[in-house]
A and B are shown apart, each in its own frame.
Chain A
Amino acid sequence: MAGVLVRESGLGRRALSIDVVAGREVALVDVLDRLLADGVVLSGDLTLAIADVDLVHLSLRTLITSITGEEEQ
């Protein structure tokens, strides 16, 4: 069975929704897909310079472990 589920982003007042799931906030994992893997990355002059892969990997491991209670190797 096919279905289309639409979530509205946090302040997405511009959202034209098909089937907005009421009251559901933006999933953390969708936010992290964007904030950790995307967004402008600058080099130099920053207080913290973690390689992209490290940051994504580290955070997803934290996320998965926290949500499922599973120990990652």
Chain B
Amino acid sequence: MNADACYTYAVARPFDVATIGPVRGVDDAAIRLFRYRDIVAVSSAMPPEAAEEGALRTRLETLESMEAMARAHHAVVEAVVERAVAIPFRLATIHHDERRVIGMLRHGHAEFDATLNRLAGRVEMGVKVYANISAPPPTSIVASVSDSPGRDYLRTRRVERNQRERGSRQAVDVAERVDAALAESAVERALHRPQAARLHIDRAENVLNAAYLVEARDLPAFHTLVRRLGSDAPGVRIEVTGPWPAYSFASLDSGGEP
């Protein structure tokens, strides 16, 4: 009987865990599979004291420790999807013991099975559209040629603001076009909330933060389409990430939670 808690990264079709090699889980724990019929839970052990709610909360509230957990989680899921179809789990999905993990597989088998079938051969692509804000005019020059610097300052600010608003309206229109075209080409589409501008290196305004579920064999066509849409879209910048494991499309088919 194992007293350790179980951190679970994904549910997948069975694969040889030995091939996962150097990839380790959260806190460098070894990856283990729990199998039930034709599905496995990809997990690692976690000491009970680290798995209790207070300890987890503290960990998630500190950026460094949350990032370490998120990166370890993501690394495991990436390793898994290279070997088998998988349903990624939310960060910090932790059961009290392995018996409960197996219970989850048993009770949720029909849903896991249907979801794995839906995700097979498909990958997630992330697409973000940013408004390209033109640089504000140099205020010092404007101020120096006038005897009313205060009024000029305000006028400059107003011009800047109008430019920004126009730019962002235009970007939203472009983003809607881009999204419609990509959604049309994809199997499914999911929207994330736009990221805060201050998280971006240039503080650019994120007007679309979307994910598309794409047949892996259609990836070249997807890239071609994005490139065409990008060259056709003045005033925005498009960022593509992926292929990702299908995090954004992992909701279980036919409801019924275990």
User: In the bound complex, how far is the Cα of B249 from the Cα of A18, in angstroms?
Assistant: 24
Overall SS of chain B's interface = mixed
Which single residue of chain A is at the shortest CB-CB distance from B64?
A66
Note all chain A residues with C-beta closer than 8 A to B251: 40
B137 interfacial by beta-carbon distance below 8 Å: no
Note all chain B residues with C-beta closer than 8 A to A33: 126, 192, 195, 209
B96 interfacial by beta-carbon distance below 8 Å: yes
User: In the bound complex, how far is the Cα of B60 from the Cα of A47, in angstroms?
Assistant: 14
| Chain B interface extent, by class | 35 or more
Note all chain A residues with C-beta closer than 8 A to B236: 2
| Chain A interface extent, by class | 35 or more
Note all chain A residues with C-beta closer than 8 A to B113: none
Which of A9, A34, A62 has a CB less than 8 Å from the CB of B63?
A62
Note all chain A residues with C-beta closer than 8 A to B67: 28
User: In the bound complex, how far is the Cα of B75 from the Cα of A27, in angstroms?
Assistant: 13
A22 interfacial by beta-carbon distance below 8 Å: no
Interchain CB contact under 8 A, A39 and B247: yes
User: In the bound complex, how far is the Cα of B53 from the Cα of A63, in angstroms?
Assistant: 21
- Closest Cβ of chain B: how far from A59's Cβ, in Å? 6
B40 interfacial by beta-carbon distance below 8 Å: no
A71 interfacial by beta-carbon distance below 8 Å: no
Interchain CB contact under 8 A, B240 and A6: yes
Binding site for B on A (CB under 8 A): 1-7, 9-18, 26-48, 50, 55, 58-60, 62-64, 66-68, 70
